[in-house]
Structure 1
Amino acid sequence: MASFHGTSTVANDKNESDVLNSQLKQLGRTPGHIVPIVCQKWMTGHAKGASAAFIINGVLQSLRTGLVPGNRNADNIDKAMEEFDYALYLSKSVQTSGIKAGLLKSFGFGQVGGELLIVHADYLLATLSREQLGKYNSKLQQRMPEANRYLQNVLVGKHPFVQVKSHPPYTAEQEKSIYLNPLARAKYDSASGEYKF
């Protein structure tokens, strides 16, 4: 499944579908092997950063239960959305036998957005050997004190929780090629305090 920002604006809805379509085509997904799309914004509204937390919670519930919630107001899908081979906008909820992954997409104004792939733990951890799982758990235990220290520093005002960026770390010309390149990595530039390609 994929959870879209879903603003019902002409540019946003088409752009979100186009990016998903391009990504799945690049990955070699069979055309017509659709991905159900959930647009939770009709329910969460403009809660700013908090809406991402609401939407992540919805994706996690779908992974846990296998239920893909319908888009309650999707009773008149624009014809322009029919050109995409992979996106299916459901108006009613569908109970599946299980969802392996959820893709959370959030397109915002001024390139403030994000994308998050959430893989069901059964599938993610099943790919690890017993040795790899042991190493993962060991690293997790090491990261917890660092994460707690970071949060404590946020709470006492030493630094903000997130660094809000004013522009993406790539140029407009680089955008699509970076999105479609699984090996593209931004590097942190300590001099400017920004990530760059």
Structure 2
Amino acid sequence: MSLRIRRLVSVDEVHGLTPHLADYVRFVCDDLVRAGAPRFQPDGLLSKTLAHLQDVVPPRGYAFVAEDDGDAVLGMVFLRPSGAGAMEIKRLYVPPAGRGMGVGRALVMAAVAAAQEAGAAVVRLDSTRNLTPALDLYRKLGFVERDAFPESDLAGDPVLGPWAIYMELPLSPQGQSIQR
């Protein structure tokens, strides 16, 4: 099976990922509860994501899907503006069918390349401390922990804030930022 990364260019295309976004939200919520966090309503996170899809398509941002030979979605990631000279990775999700095949790595690398192409000096992200596989991937790719940034959805959130972790990857003009 081959893996292909495809850039989505319209809100309608990204809106087609709604079932995968709903799976992502359920996964994050369930994983947080397993880790001991309080339960919160996933509908709010999904609604907020769907209401801001224009931020993850051109000309503002980017959305990528990983697909197999049969066009099945094996993962997704979004990239949006996040302050001066920065882009932010959002909603990286690889469902069980895509795990263990390098899908997450390929998606993050596509997002970083797009940020660099857009002239960003840094790629940021927020996540929750319980999502160990994603955090391990980010660290392997050169992301480092940092303080909260004001554009983060998690900064100051009363439920998720205590579980938040913030990371960034400085980008070099020569394209040598990400660790291979």
Q: So what's the TM-score if we normalise by structure 2?
A: 0.26
Structure with a larger share of its residues in strand: 2
Q: Which has the higher helix share?
A: 1
**Structure 1 length-normalised TM:** 0.25
Q: Which has the larger radius of gyration?
A: 1
